[in-house]
Amino acid sequence: MSLRGDVCVVTGACGFLGKRLVRLLLEEEKMAEIRLLDKQIQLQFLQSLEDCKGETKLRAFEGDMRDSDFLIKCCRGASIVFHIASIIDIKDSVEYSEIYGVNVKGTQLLLEACIQENVASFIYTSTIEVIGPNSKGEPIINGSEDTVYDITLDINYSKTKSEAEEKTLKADGEVLQNGGQLATCALRPAYIYGEGCRFLLGHMADGIKNRNVLLRMSLPEALVKPVYVGNVAAAHLQAARSLKDPQKRNAVGGKFYFVSDDTPPVSYSDFNHAVMSPLGFSIQEKPMMPLTLFYLLTFLMETVAWILRPFIRIVPPLNRQLLTMLNTPFSFSYEKAKRDLGYVPKYSWEEARKRTTEWLASQLPAERERILSK
């Protein structure tokens, strides 16, 4: 099912995944219009799309996800919304009111705008972190949408993404102003990597500071399956096609799907090494200290931060939940997305790794100069 002639809205359009999705839509679909919604639209990004936009109209909308009137204006006349925008905060550094306002309230307001303005399809970018790992570090290996798991969400990011996903799926079937029905679905990608990934840049910076030795924060046996950004964008496109297809719409609507690809199972730390070893980086054989001691240290840091919270906000560089996430085997199959949405990874592991390493290589000189000049 083609999206030819459709008008779509992409929230978080200037972010890591948003940029990739916008380009993919331009390359593979002849849409009437793509509306780029973000706090600030980068002119350089708009200019970079000139080579592939063809007849598709691009419109920039700068504003806040918590502004109902702004969202209504963005949705007017649109048929599809890709809701990617959110505050990603794995260290609990953002005030709860702020992250709740954007991630939960913003999603609710956007859904209401879609109903008022007769938007037919809504695709929400969720995360595997809405399911875990839980605080006990119980593993999931190649899980599915039917996997039963004891969910405990200790990070505000995970809590707010879970609540926003729930609101999205509950909105499926809501009656639009024109009498039609809204169809929604949610995609739960694993850790997303690729060109533009700020987390990879951070790990590379730490390696530079450590004389080209990457820090080991996860045990080799804590296997996960990161997913390439180009493949996550492809899953979003397939979800939109499926929601538009009358034969698939009811089956897909109201469902969530895990999104992974053929990146081999690997620990987070060893993944960093896999994409950075061609650039001359090695990796520590063992973590800097035993995990039990690491947990004790993070507990002490969290306790000090909590005691000082009334006077000053201190954000520890590591917390227990993040340490658990880094050291828990946690992976999911994309078989249901393949079966229901027709999703197949667009990029192989070899191609994804090559592209990611080449991008990191292009960033390396500036990163070295920035760090070594301090």
**Could you write out the DSSP letters of every residue in 46-94?**
HHHTTTT-TT-EEEEEE--TT-HHHHHHHHTT-SEEEE------TT--S
In a domain, 269, yes or no: no
What is the model's pLDDT at position 44?
Answer: 85
Q: What is the pLDDT of residue 345?
A: 97
| Residue 312, pLDDT score | 84
Closest listed residue to residue 1, CA positions, set 85, 63, 80? 80
- Our count of domains for the chain comes to 1
> Does residue 283 form part of some domain?
no
Q: How many residues does the chain have?
A: 374
Q: Quick check: is 207 in a domain?
A: no
What was the pLDDT predicted at 155?
A: 87
Q: Is residue 100 very low, low, confident or very high in pLDDT (cuts 50, 70, 90)?
A: very high
Question: Lowest mean pLDDT: which of 111-115, 174-178, 286-290, 342-346?
Answer: 286-290
pLDDT score of 99? 95
**Position 315 in a domain:** no
Peptide bond into 133 cis (omega under 30): yes
Residues with a known catalytic role: 157
Percent of the chain topping pLDDT 70: 100
Measure CA 298 to chain center: 25
Residue 372 lies in a domain: no
Task: Give me the pLDDT at residue 331, please.
Answer: 96
| Model confidence at 30: pLDDT above 80 | yes
The answer for residues whose C-beta is within 8 angstroms of residue 239's C-beta and 6 or more apart is 123, 185, 187, 252, 257, 341, 343
The CATH code of the domain that includes 141 is: 3.40.50.720
Q: How far apart are CA 9 and CA 80, in angstroms?
A: 6
Rounded CA gap, 25 and 310, in Å?
47
* Residue at 18: amino acid letter: G
pLDDT at site 241: 96
Tell me phi and psi for residue 263, to 5 degrees: -60, 130
Please state, for a pLDDT cut of 90, what percent of the chain lies above it.
76
- Which of residues 45 and 195 earns the better pLDDT score? 195
Average pLDDT over every residue of 267-275: 97
- Single out the residue of 336, 335, 319 nearest to residue 327, CA to CA: 319
Phi-psi label, residue 118: left if phi above 0, alpha if psi -120 to 50, beta otherwise: left
Asked, for residue 50, whether it belongs to a domain, the answer is yes
Q: Hey, is 236 helix, strand or coil?
A: helix
- Taking CA atoms, 287 is separated from 32, 206, 217, 219, 272, in Å, by 52, 14, 6, 7, 14
Give the end-to-end CA distance of the chain in Å, rounded to a whole number.
54
Instruction: Report how far residue 229's alpha carbon sits from residue 12's, in angstroms, rounded to the nearest whole number.
Output: 14
Q: Which of 317, 340, 344 has its CA nearest to residue 262? A: 344
**CB-side neighbour CA atoms (13 Å) of 38:** 21
Give a yes or no: residue 290 inside a domain. Answer: no
Please enumerate in sequence order all residues whose Cβ is within 8 A of that of 101, keeping only pairs 6 or more positions apart, or say none. Answer: 66
Q: Per-residue pLDDT averaged across 145-169, rounded?
A: 93
Yes or no: say if 302 and 322 are a contact pair by the CB < 8 Å rule. Answer: no
- Cβ atoms 184, 253 nearer than 8 A: yes
DSSP conformation letters of 265-277: PB-HHHHHHHHHG
DSSP-assigned beta bridge partners for residue 38: 62
Q: What is the pLDDT of residue 75?
A: 96
Instruction: Give me the pLDDT at residue 1, please.
Output: 78
Are residues 283 and 216 in contact, defined by beta-carbon separation less than 8 angstroms?
A: yes
Is residue 28 exposed (0-12), middle (13-18) or buried (19+ Cβ within 10 Å)? middle
For residue 93, is it within any domain? yes
Tell me the average pLDDT of the chain. 93
For residue 374, is pLDDT > 80? no
Tell me the residue range of the domain where 75 lies.
7-197+226-262+329-347
What's the average model confidence in pLDDT over 352-363?
97
